[in-house]
A and B are shown apart, each in its own frame.
Chain A
Amino acid sequence: MAEQAIVKKLKVTNEYGIHARPAALLVKAAGKYACDIFIEKDGNKVSCKSIMGLMTIEGYPGSTIRVSASGTDAREAMAEIEELFANKFYED
């Protein structure tokens, strides 16, 4: 039985948006968990475990993206992803 995915809408608040460094932080955070995590924006859905994918989603500064996580450790994974967004990926 598939578990219900946790879905959150998160705002990109750092200066330059989701470029290489934030993408790397997201991938590192997501890579620690077994669950599937996807990032979605404007009909474009990519795995949060793929750097090259994340760099294509046009995570403009100020934009909002949809994050979904499903699997056993989805809650913990989502908390860590949220923290990265909330802290502007530790930039600025």
Chain B
Amino acid sequence: MRGDPGIGKSETALALIERGYSLVSDDVTEIRRTSRGRILCWANEVTRFHMEIRGIGIIHVPSLFGIASIRRQTELDVVVDLKQPSGDEDRTGVHPETLDLMGVKIPCIRLPVRSGRDMANIVEVAALNQKLKELGHDAAKELDDKIINRLTKGRVQDG
């Protein structure tokens, strides 16, 4: 997750941890490109598994949530950008954006943040949907193909 300071990355991460997901790092993430062309991420050794939550300060995640709430490293599958609403968001997901990290293309999802929106829920759905796409099931594209097929069959000829 990326985003401007104060947009709610850490709070969203915390809510995801409470849902059973695990933290790799907060704020500073070290990455390298693997020989398989993937991006591997891990935390800075000194600060790892700590998070800063506004109003509370620094917390140690595994002490609060248990050892299952952290992992030492992970491969990067998707980047989620938390953004102020611009009105220019992707509405269908048919043409997803990507990001170049050390020559590796990573799917990048821009999520508009509004007060009252459950961002953890939405980030979770974004990540699950991305996983589904990687398994070959792209719901947005499949629906669009189905509609194009129907529309083309119903084409109205001139004259």
Contact B87 A55 (CB under 8 A): no
Cα–Cα distance between A80 and B74 once the two chains are bound (Å): 46
Cα–Cα distance between A15 and B22 once the two chains are bound (Å): 46
Contact B155 A23 (CB under 8 A): no
User: Which A residues contact B (CB, under 8 angstroms)?
Assistant: 16-21, 23-24, 27-28, 31-32, 51, 55, 58-63
Contact B144 A20 (CB under 8 A): yes
Cα–Cα distance between A19 and B150 once the two chains are bound (Å): 10
| Residue from B91, B95, B150 whose CB has the most chain A CB atoms within 10 Å | B91
Report B-chain residues with C-beta under 8 Å of the C-beta of A23. Answer: 91-92
- Residue interface mask B78-119, A partner, CB < 8 A = 1: 000000000110111011000000000000000000000000
Report A-chain residues with C-beta under 8 Å of the C-beta of B53. Answer: none
Q: A28-B87, A31-B87, A51-B91 are in contact. Are A19 and B154 (CB under 8 A)?
A: no
Report B-chain residues with C-beta under 8 Å of the C-beta of A27. Answer: 91
User: Which B residues contact A (CB, under 8 angstroms)?
Assistant: 87-88, 90-92, 94-95, 140, 143-144, 147-148, 150-152, 154-158
A13 to chain B, nearest CB (A): 10
B156 to chain A, nearest CB (A): 3
Closest B residue by C-beta to A59: B151
Q: A19-B144, A20-B143 are in contact. Are A58 and B91 (CB under 8 A)?
A: no
Cα–Cα distance between A91 and B121 once the two chains are bound (Å): 34
Cα–Cα distance between A75 and B90 once the two chains are bound (Å): 26
A21 touches which of B94, B150, B158 (Cβ 8 Å): B94
| Residue from B87, B143, B154 whose CB has the most chain A CB atoms within 10 Å | B154
Closest A residue by C-beta to B88: A28
Report A-chain residues with C-beta under 8 Å of the C-beta of B90. Answer: 24
Contact B92 A24 (CB under 8 A): yes
A28 touches which of B91, B147, B156 (Cβ 8 Å): B91
